Amino acid sequence: MLRKYSLLVIAATVVFTSCKKENSNPEPEDPETLQAISVVQGDQLTTQVFNDVFRISLGVQASDAGGQIGIGTGQGIVYRPGGSSGTEGAECFTVDVTPKVYTEWPKTVTWDFGDGCVGKDGKTRKGKIISVFSAPIIMTGATVTTTFDGYSVNNYGVSGTLVIRNSSSVIEGLSLSTTITDGRVTDMATGDWHEIDAEIDYAQTAGADTPTDLLDDNYSVTGDIDGTTSFGFTWRTETTSPLVINFGCRWFGKGVLTLHWDDNPTPATLDYGDGACDNKALLKYKEWSKVINL
């Protein structure tokens, strides 16, 4: 069954840390709590990868596309190819837009990272991300359908389909609905994988009147995720409290997720905090809790 989900914070692993947000318990030893931690790690890894793709696919530059078709969200993630002196650095990947004539649709945008390209975020990407735009994404009803050709990030292979649709009904803010189908992330060293089927809802809450300034763009993100793994368990993540993200920050600042797995009656929760732009969240399972780095 397909359920909605919240797109999670940019993170590949969960690391425990000390923090003043809340007193934390010692590292767990019981198998049940360790499994709760493992579920959160897998959920964060998988959704991080597709959050990354979401931003890249909408980040195509007007200079590469013959006009504005995305919303510039890739600027803090990867280097802009062909950038003029003093902009965003190295040209270690290419962006091909076909057709480049602005009035001709649909357009296919191919991000080619070749045999390896290190982005502004320090991640190494290989292969291709291929996105088909039906129209500029700022238009109501426009869609962007993304697939992959040998794509990997930090040695995690990525497959599946990501569809972003402009579901806006008012001009005061942008609303985006995203569907992930068979979204698999595979550890290329071990062959282990996590896979999700999901829907994401973004509702713009600030920054609509300054479309050229992404740093003041805030979004409320809601939904759930259904996931499976090569280890034989399933999980489901629900948004207990809407997540809040600013496109100038790499992490969610607020919001609470609830994670269920297999037949376990007790869920884990992940709380992103009070709005600060940091990489910390509070993981709780039963009486155990710990602040984690994302």
DSSP 117-172: EE-TTS-EEEEEEEEEESS-TTSTT-EEEEEEEEEEETTEEEEEEEEEEE---SSS
Burial class for 42, CB neighbours closer than 10 Å (0-12, 13-18, 19+) = buried
pLDDT for residue 91: 67
pLDDT for residue 25: 63
- pLDDT tens, position by position, 185-208: 999 999 999 999 999 899 988 877
- pLDDT tens, position by position, 6-33: 333 333 344 444 333 444 566 777 888 9
Max Cα distance, the chain (Å): 60
For residues 277 and 176, which has the higher predicted lDDT (pLDDT)? 176
The position carrying tokens 């809407």 is 242
- pLDDT tens, position by position, 253-271: 899 999 999 988 999 999 9
Question: Rounded to whole angstroms, what are the CA distances from 97 to 2, 116, 151, 219?
Answer: 32, 21, 18, 28
Which run of H or of E encompasses 102? none
The position carrying tokens 């569809």 is 163
- pLDDT tens, position by position, 29-54: 788 899 888 899 889 889 889 989 99
Number of domains in the chain: 1
Tokens of 12: 């590949």
- pLDDT tens, position by position, 159-179: 999 999 999 986 668 899 999
pLDDT for residue 41: 87
* pLDDT higher than threshold 50 for residue 210: yes
Residue range of the domain that includes 283: 3-293
pLDDT for residue 3: 33
Report d(CA 229, CA 235) in Å as an integer.
9
pLDDT for residue 92: 82
Whether the Cβ atoms of residue 209 and residue 217 lie closer than 8 Å to each other: no
User: Average per-residue pLDDT in the chain?
Assistant: 84
Tokens of 146: 């993304």
Q: Which residues contact 254 (CB under 8 A, 6 or more apart)?
A: 241, 242, 243, 244, 272, 273, 274, 275
* pLDDT higher than threshold 80 for residue 209: no
Whether the Cβ atoms of residue 108 and residue 126 lie closer than 8 Å to each other: no
pLDDT for residue 2: 33
pLDDT for residue 66: 87
